[in-house]
Structure 1
């Protein structure tokens, strides 16, 4: 227990925008007052969304079975808390490598139940994770530099066009990457020597104790943890209550038939999967 810690990382890939249409123009006190008032009175407008309304997944390279890079698009260039927005208009994508191979730990350091544990994420320790973030930089540039973005895309704010080599990209990622707040996998389900819980969520070797949260994933899911964690909880609730589980889903899952040979399904860039 406490081994196998995994998390998703991401960074902000920012560009200036040629047109005055981004959220950067809505950060003044009067704009914020109008946005807040409209939401309070009508529950709509810019205050009724978190603005991350566009999301997508692509493969980092050929031979990756499931798309492992995740994008969120924001019509503004700023941090989550709205700080460090620059003068002028911009936009950004939040991009990260979703299947890390680096593993961290959570260790108890005191018998005091109120004592904080020692947490070591060990981010980017594995070379494949660093390679994945290099793909984040290069593929994002390829996408944003498509002709469809010409009316909007101006110069690159960060990483910056001067960041090109593997070494430069690695240094940028180490400096700017942030947690996507998806720590998980420290009590993995299974029957091997590293497993903490069995397939019924019961802790091995301890009678009457179960774990039902995102820590029981053996490997981190390929996207946000909210829905998978709800699914685990629903399933565990049925197991605990002794209810007959639902029949397995027979939904068809789309897959590029040549995923082992190519990074994308078609060219040019119409299907970056």
Structure 2
């Protein structure tokens, strides 16, 4: 049996942070287990390579949800990063923290020390802001945050159109205010993707106290009574047992951390018994509270051949760009899929932006899997619902750890979500109608000019709505019934087991989730280290007792 002080399950954004920070102490041994491969593919490092990564099973779990009852029973494609860096190796690289008030919602759930003011030092600690240091940004961290090295001319036209339509310009969505339109900052460095693996893991791989094992599928957490003692993991087709002398840290993400808990006998008793999994500890909240940013896309053709396209003409033009990128990491291959966008309120009475838009200078459909439409010329804009009221859940398909989890997003189940998304689409059409885009505007492909009334738009949303790959909430942080971890991310009722990833968010943040997950992991690393320097912090007896009273039936 191999033994380590800390075993980290999942080499994504949170796992890479924890592996780097916890192994800073040379007297501490750390094992990082990742089910996917190394992150050596040029598709990962090249910003525009995301188009290929959306459909490549080697680096993408390519999950599918169950049929969505409020979206015409359509299953939803749920890509998740597979390999070192996790989803930070396949995402759009947008650096967004969310609105400061989002974190106030977390503290209302009984989570002290999780306000935006509490997290700001960790956002700053994590980043190297190329613009320089200020009250909002740091420059000493490993995660490089930069402006796009190249701005597409059609993206510039879109930004001008937003301003003409009445939106204000915002130079920094992570500064004093989130509302407005502008250029997104990106997790890139020198024309390449700066994933969590590149930022946190690559520079420390030679540490003698850090063991990184890729293509290692963790099958369950092992317990001795209430204490997590290690994990079982399959490597090269063989089952191995790893012992954790201090803690097991689950960082497998919002879809797979709760799955692993349930496979280990921790969760809703009925769900476990349905799959003949012995019940070790009852926590009804495991897998519940699933939230996602619902999304719909407006696409419009362009009469001028000046956008990105999979057409033969664009292919010829790109030959020079391949050379420029190979030599200098410049040109079209160095641009991210989304450069420009912003945040606005669906109606004046809303206290903060509830819609985010992301502009792509290319025709897209079906998560980039409709290649036919991408041979044309045009542009697309994602309209994201930032704070959905709809809630879904995650279940097990079987007791086999190699089976995908059963995902029930349940999007649009709350009618208010549909109402806000309809308003967002109508406001985006106002931007499309502005002069900077109208000069070369062609036909509107989706939803099409015939779709005008609120009822027609709502039906279009039911036909085409998707999401933007930000699942959270399935191991909710809090103190009440339905919560899974406490404010120090320790699993209620168990010892030496924490969850550190997006699944602990009680509610979604208003924006992309990668930067918040990295800040969560930075904060978690501090909490973990302090709990072993001060042993009295290692167990919150009040939270433990409360959890047992709420969830533990007699005899379990």
Q: TM-score range by the shorter chain?
A: 0.7 to 0.9
Which one of 49, 52, 59 corresponds to residue 345 of structure 2?
Answer: 59
Contact 2:384 2:467 in 1 (8 A): no
Runs of 4+ in 1 over 6 A off after TM superposition: none
Which one of 287, 306, 311 corresponds to residue 2 of structure 1?
Answer: 287
Structure 1 partner of 2:309: 24
Task: Give the alignment's TM-score, normalised by structure 1.
Answer: 0.82
Contact 2:311 2:375 in 1 (8 A): no
Larger Rg: 2
**Which structure features the higher share of helix residues?**
2
Which one of 440, 457, 475 corresponds to residue 152 of structure 1?
Answer: 440
SS at match of 2:497: coil
SS at match of 1:241: helix
Structure 1 partner of 2:382: 94
- How much has 1:67 moved relative to structure 2? 0.6
CA distance in 2, matches of 1:9, 1:103: 11
Deviation string, structure 1 residues 146-204 (Cα, Å, up to 9, x no partner):
23333233332211111122222122112212221111111111111121111111111
CA distance in 2, matches of 1:30, 1:43: 19
SS at match of 1:175: helix
CA distance in 2, matches of 1:116, 1:151: 47
CA distance in 2, matches of 1:109, 1:81: 26
1:48 partnered with 2:334:
yes
The 3 A distance-change label for structure 1 pair 20 and 118 is: closer
Structure 2 partner of 1:216: 504
- How much has 1:12 moved relative to structure 2? 2.1
Structure 2 partner of 1:203: 491
- How much has 1:20 moved relative to structure 2? 2.9
CA distance in 1, matches of 2:406, 2:415: 24
Contact 2:310 2:374 in 1 (8 A): no
SS at match of 2:518: helix
Q: Return 5+ residue gaps in structure 1 as ranges.
A: 245-273
Which one of 172, 177, 183 corresponds to residue 465 of structure 2?
Answer: 177
**Which structure features the higher share of strand residues?**
2
The 3 A distance-change label for structure 1 pair 153 and 209 is: same
Q: How does 1:1-273 map to 2 (within 5 A)?
A: 1-24=286-309, 28-79=314-365, 80=368, 83-85=371-373, 89-242=377-530
The 3 A distance-change label for structure 1 pair 239 and 41 is: same
- Structure number with greater CO (CA < 8 Å, separation at least 6) is 1
Contact 1:105 1:121 in 2 (8 A): yes
Contact 1:2 1:107 in 2 (8 A): yes
